[in-house]
């Protein structure tokens, strides 16, 4: 807890003061300064997310239970994540769609905060590495389980990358680094661990470089 306090408290304060400055709480802000403050605000948000990921990663590696299991709506999680990531897809001029089954969708026993984080990492990753076309997210009820397929038209992966993409030792290829220079490669590792902790399955598929990728996961409804 002490580590979390020392890392999160100053970042939260920094984010708060940047937000107040952008909103003009301390006086009028010129356009140039507002742009610089906006860049700092976005960077602080990324840093907060990185800190949270590393804290979760340390807990997972220590074998600590980080889940608060309860009945949760996968539909609501997906809709929230799509709404959050949509602006990034729009900036890139790519589509981001969500297709839901026509039948009633059962609730899942899950930690809604952590599972949403895993879904965010998977969908955000697909958007980041897709320059043309887009990302299609589908929720399917299959054999009494909830299956989510995130299919993109992005840079694709080699067979070796597919095999290791959820490993904490995964090294992004040069093509991936060209598309998104800030990627760290741990988001998918954390997503996979969260899904595994939910007793679910996660895997990746790709026909090869330049041919897109699919990230799939299955969760029990009980």
Q: Say if residue 208's pLDDT is above 60.
A: yes
Q: Return the pLDDT at 181.
A: 43
Q: How many CB atoms lie within 10 A of CB 105?
A: 16
Domain that holds residue 19: 2-61
Q: pTM for this one?
A: 0.75
Alpha-carbon distance 95 to 217, whole Å?
A: 21
C-alpha distances in angstroms, 106 versus 118, 120, 140, 218? 19, 21, 11, 13
- Same domain? 28 vs 120: no
Residues 122, 188: Cα–Cα separation, whole Å:
6
- Contact, 205 vs 213, CB < 8 A? yes
Asked if residue 30 and residue 100 are part of one domain, the reply reads no
pLDDT of 168: 66
Strands 145-152 vs 70-72: parallel, antiparallel or unpaired: unpaired
- At 41-54, the pLDDT tens digits run 888 887 887 787 77
pLDDT at 216: 96
Do 96 and 191 belong together in one domain?
Answer: yes
Tell me the two tokens of residue 204.
Answer: 């990746």
Looking at 13, 34, 61, which one is the last position of a domain?
61
Using only C-alpha atoms, the chain has a radius of gyration, in whole angstroms, of 19
Same domain as 122, residue 22: no
Cα separation, 102 vs 147, in Å, equals: 14
Tens-digit pLDDT profile for residues 119-155: 999 999 999 999 999 999 999 998 889 999 999 999 9
d(CA 75, CA 98): 10
CA-to-CA distance for 145 and 178, rounded, in angstroms?
37
Number of domains in the chain: 2
Which backbone phi and psi does 111 adopt, to 5 degrees?
Answer: -90, 105
Q: Is 138 exposed, middle or buried (0-12, 13-18, 19+ CB in 10 A)?
A: middle
Position 107 pLDDT exceeds 70: yes
Residue with the larger pLDDT of the pair 113 and 52: 113
User: Do 149 and 140 contact (CB within 8 A), yes or no?
Assistant: yes
The reply to whether 185 and 105 lie within a common domain is yes
Q: Are residues 192 and 101 in the same domain?
A: yes
pLDDT at 183 over 70: no
Residues 102 and 193 in one domain: yes
The answer on pLDDT for 207 being more than 90 is yes
* pLDDT tens for each residue of 53-92: 777 767 766 566 668 899 999 999 999 999 999 999 999 9
Q: Which residues contact 36 (CB under 8 A, 6 or more apart)?
A: none
Kindly state whether residues 35 and 140 are assigned to the same domain. no
Do 108 and 129 belong together in one domain? yes
3-state helix, strand, coil in the chain (%, to 5): 50, 20, 30
The mean pLDDT of 176-204, rounded to a whole number, is: 76
CATH number, domain of 143, equals 3.30.565.10
């Amino acid at each position: 807890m002490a580590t979390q306090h020392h890392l999160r408290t100053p970042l939260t304060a920094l984010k708060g003061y940047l937000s107040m400055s952008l909103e003009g709480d301390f006086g009028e802000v010129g356009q140039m300064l507002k742009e610089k403050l906006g860049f700092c605000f976005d960077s602080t948000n990324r840093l907060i997310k990185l800190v949270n990921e590393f804290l979760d990663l340390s807990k997972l590696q220590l074998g600590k239970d980080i889940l608060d299991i309860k009945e949760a709506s996968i539909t609501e999680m997906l809709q929230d994540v799509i709404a959050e990531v949509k602006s990034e897809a729009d900036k890139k001029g790519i589509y981001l769609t969500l297709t839901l089954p026509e039948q009633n969708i059962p609730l899942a026993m899950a930690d809604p905060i952590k599972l949403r984080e895993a879904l965010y990492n998977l969908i955000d990753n697909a958007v980041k590495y897709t320059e043309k076309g887009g990302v299609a997210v589908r929720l399917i009820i299959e054999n009494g389980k909830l299956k989510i397929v995130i299919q993109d038209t992005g840079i694709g992966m080699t067979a070796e990358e597919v095999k290791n993409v959820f490993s904490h030792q995964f090294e992004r290829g040069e093509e991936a680094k060209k598309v998104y220079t800030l990627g760290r490669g741990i988001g998918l590792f954390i997503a996979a661990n969260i899904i595994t902790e939910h007793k679910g399955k996660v895997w990746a598929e790709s026909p090869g470089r330049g041919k897109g990728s699919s990230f799939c996961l299955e969760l029990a409804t009980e």
